[in-house]
Amino acid sequence: MKGACWTASCRPCAASRPIPTPFGRRSRLPARCSPAFRGGRGQDPIRRAPVGQFTLGGETMTTKTKTASRRFARSLTAALALSLLPMAAPAQQHLRFATAQAPDSIIMRCCYQPWIDALNEGSNGTLEVAPYPPPFAAADNMWDRVTAGVADIGNMITYATGLPFQRTAVASLPGLASNAEAASAALWRLYEQGMLDDTFEQVHVLGLYTPMALSLYSRTPVQSLDDLAGMRVRSTGRETSAALTALGASPVSISFSEAYQAISRGVVDGAVGNGNSLVVFRFNEMLEYEVDNVSFGLSVIAFIMNRDSYANLEPEARASIDAWSGERLSRHLGREQDVLRAQFNDQLIEAGTLHQYSLPDEERALWLERLAPITETWLAETDNGQAVYDAFVAEYNAVLAEIEAAAN
């Protein structure tokens, strides 16, 4: 957590042979050698004897057993020599991490690569985790790639799988949470308590985190429900579509690959997104206004590992994976998202391409009142929903208070 090093680099033994990786760079695998043992004069315990006889260990034997005895003696010598040599080091284990990120993306550089470096460094040379970018795996097939063993590790957007992650979607409820680190820690604690979805039992879960919170961005200022009424707004999924409908807007489902053109052509006048949408996908070129104090929820991303890949790890490699998993990994990823969100906002505000607006308390209360039925529906449709909701809120508030206290 605070103070933990995420930038250590691995320096494998120079006496190792290279193997290819998916990026053209060379990684290292410790060399394995099988030395040959040859008997020589003075090493063989066989002494000269009269023709037809020979002596072994003080016992006179006939030439009929001479060949077999020599074989036995040499085998004994070789076994003794082997027993005096150090055991060969275990082979380095290579794990394929399907990142769903381009190698030069800011998420890869700030969030994922430091974790990879920490795993490799912490394994004492027994582990090589290598990033595999798209098209090796993508959001819509990440679960299948990992469970089938094509990828050993992957980062999976839960809603993109089409699988039942209903309880995990508590973090996606609108108006509930906006701090990614606190939400990520809360989700992990609920997972440890066995309160999240049973679907996770099919994999080994390394961590859970949320990207930066979703907000409403628009071409013109939105300062009230009247301003939002009838506005065509790009949604990110079922939850945001329901939220926009409840607030009186007209949600439009458009993929990221088509969103920029749709906004530039006036197909939509707003979008639910975050700093990543604004900067990486350049929404800020057309959508300058943000309502910054109503969260449209948080997506949930799980770092998952194939169960057999985890079970087959050597002890040192497994210890490194375990040391950098759980709440430690979850909070690291969430915290980096919060840092990026602040940096993006500062840069855009300074450039004059982002204008943030905080709804007055009375107006914000009206928005939250409109959004409340979405939470009520989730509670009614989710097994043990009220307990999951209450536990998430409690853990989220506890971690948020901790973060705020540390910042003061």
Q: What is the pLDDT of residue 92?
A: 85
CATH class (in words) of the domain with range 215-298+353-383+391-407: alpha beta
pLDDT digits (tens, 9 = 90+) for 243-256: 999 999 999 988 77
Class of residue 10 by CB neighbours under 10 A (exposed 0-12, middle 13-18, buried 19+): buried
Class of domain 89-165+179-211+300-337: alpha beta
42: left (phi over 0), alpha (psi -120 to 50) or beta: left
| Amino acid (1-letter code) at residue 262 | A
Comparing CA positions, the residue from 301, 258, 302, 303 lying closest to residue 281 is 258
pLDDT given at position 287 = 93
Of 245 and 277, which is predicted with more confidence?
245
Whether the pLDDT of residue 58 is over 60: the answer is no
Contact (Cβ atoms closer than 8 angstroms) between residue 300 and residue 158: yes
Q: Using 50, 70 and 90 to split pLDDT, how confident is the model at 282? A: confident
Q: Reply yes or no on whether the pLDDT at 69 is more than 50.
A: no
Residue with token string 């055991």: 87
Give the residue from 291, 309, 408 showing the smallest Cα distance to 360: 291
Domain coordinates in residue numbering, the chain: 89-165+179-211+300-337, 215-298+353-383+391-407
Phi, psi of 9 (to 5 degrees): -120, 150
On the 0-12 / 13-18 / 19+ scale of CB atoms within 10 A, 317 is buried
Does position 132 have pLDDT exceeding 70, yes or no?
A: yes
Mean pLDDT to the nearest integer, 203-208: 98
Say if residues 358 and 153 touch (Cβ distance below 8 Å): no
pLDDT at 401: 97
**Residue 90 — very low, low, confident or very high, per pLDDT cuts 50/70/90?**
low
Q: Do domains 89-165+179-211+300-337 and 215-298+353-383+391-407 have the same CATH topology?
A: yes
Whole-number percent of the chain with pLDDT over 70: 78
Distance (Å, whole) CA 127 – CA 95: 8
Least confident of 64-73, 157-166, 336-345, 383-392: 64-73
Q: What is the mean pLDDT of the chain?
A: 82
Q: Given pLDDT bands bounded at 50, 70 and 90, which one contains residue 91? A: confident
Say whether pLDDT at 119 is over 70: yes
Residue 56 has pLDDT above 60, yes or no: no
Comparing 91 with 12, which gets the higher pLDDT?
A: 91
- Looking at per-residue pLDDT, the higher value among 134 and 257 belongs to 134
Question: Residue 72 is encoded by which pair of tokens?
Answer: 């036995």
The full 3-state SS of the chain, as one line of letters, equals CCCCCCCCCCCCCCCEEEEECCCCCEEEEECCCCCCCCCCCCCCCEECCCCCEEEECCEEEEHHHHHHHHHHHHHHHHHHHHHHCCCCCCCCEEEEEECCCCCCCHHHHHHHHHHHHHHHHHCCCCEEEEEECCCCCCCCCHHHHHHCCCCCEEEEEHHHHCCCCCCHHHHHCCCCCCCHHHHHHHHHHHHHCCCCCHHHHHCEEEEEECCCCCEEEECCCCCCHHHHCCCEEEECCHHHHHHHHHCCCEEEECCHHHHHHHHHCCCCCEEEECHHHHHCCCHHHCCCEEECCCCCCCCCEEEEECHHHHHCCCHHHHHHHHHCCCHHHHHHHHHHHHHHHHHHHHHHHHHCCCEEECCCHHHHHHHHHHHHHHHHHHHHHCCCHHHHHHHHHHHHHHHHHHHHHHHC
What's the confidence (pLDDT) of residue 377?
95
Give the global pTM: 0.76
